[in-house]
Amino acid sequence: GDSVTQMEGPVTLSEEAFLTINCTYTATGYPSLFWYVQYPGEGLQLLLKATKADDKGSNKGFEATYRKETTSFHLEKGSVQVSDSAVYFCALTGGFKTIFGAGTRLFVKA
């Protein structure tokens, strides 16, 4: 069945460091791909998305490119801030539902 695999956290970075959170997927057909962010005590918020191969989603300095050849949708940000500390979820539309990864916790130190 369809699935999403994210790198295990926590990821700990210093402010202004470069961020990569890996996400790979397996899917039949052509899924749409998403990144959601969950700040402490809040619900998930859609961060960015890509609906077809080679599309790049971007928002708030975060980017991810839909790579069909490597079945990946890695999240990147050039310079993280303390306020980016949160849990990040990769997701895809598969079958008859949206499937979420297990989440990756990011800590950013000042």
- Cβ closest to another protein, residue 18 vs residue 30: 30
**Structure tokens of 91?**
């997701």
- Cβ closest to another protein, residue 82 vs residue 102: 102
Type of residue found at 36: Y
CB of 79 to another protein, least distance (A): 25
Q: What does the binding site for another protein look like in residue numbers (CB under 8 A)? A: 32, 34, 36, 38, 41-46, 49, 51, 87, 89, 93-98, 100, 102-103, 105
* Nearest CA among 102, 106, 105, 107 for reference residue 25: 102
Assign 82 to helix, strand or coil.
helix
CB of 26 to another protein, least distance (A): 16
First to last CA, the chain: 41
φ, ψ (nearest 5 deg) of residue 84: -85, -5
CB of 16 to another protein, least distance (A): 26
- Alpha carbon distance 33, 40 (integer Å): 23
CB of 98 to another protein, least distance (A): 6
- Cβ closest to another protein, residue 19 vs residue 92: 92
